[in-house]
Amino acid sequence: MSNATTPIHAVLFDLDGTLLDTAPDLVLALNNLLKCHNRPSVEFEKLRNLSSQGSVALTRYGFPDVTNDEQFELLRQQFLQHYADSICVDTRLFDQMETLLQTIEEQKIPWGIVTNKPGELTQSLLDKLSLSSRPSCIVSGDTLTVRKPHPEPLLLASKTIQLSPHHTIYIGDDPRDIYAGNSAGMYTCVARYGYIEPDIDTDQWGADFTINSPLELLNHIQLSTPINEVGT
């Protein structure tokens, strides 16, 4: 892929760990659940990079000794309720993300969200952050009967935006994101600033490129206005 010449007509984001820094509230929800069960809390830094893996991974971390499926599912549902109750205490867009969104919006490049997060939680979070009206599409974990790493959610997003997946880029911070994007025939980008352990070799994921901050994405998109003139 050649920098600044890629024919990208649409941008799709994973939600947790890519578009939004949701880890503080996800960790808060788990610690609230642990407190309810008289278990010690977990330090934020131990859980931050687990946040992209969702409710199963977080609940499993907090309750590794619970092996009964029904008991575990009950705990997971309790975790989701705690999260719903505190879904936007400290969650925010990642640094530089608002500037990136404004720039691609000014360039008339549609953007959307494809996440494995349940739709009710996704919508609630976007509403609280006043973001609901800005994406051209929102595909959540329960929009279809399949979720990432299946490519179908990404293909649905592409169909909704009415732009070819071959001219769309999907950005995520988990191998599932890159696998799904590649399978959908999209360009793929690793959000290295997201919830990724420092020693993980993301080059093995098979993405087209990696960015260390949101604004680096602009180096890989052909803009009608040169990057150094955007916002001037």
Instruction: Show which residues are catalytic.
Output: 14, 16
Q: Token pair of 195, please?
A: 């919830």
The pairing of strands 20-21 and 137-139 is unpaired
Residues 152, 145, 205, 1, Cα dihedral to 10°: 20
**Distance, CA of 60 to CA of 196 (rounded, Å):** 18
Segment holding 137, helix H or strand E = strand 137-139
**Distance, CA of 111 to CA of 104 (rounded, Å):** 8
Q: Token pair of 128, please?
A: 């609280």
Q: How many CA atoms lie within 13 A of 172 on its CB side?
A: 30
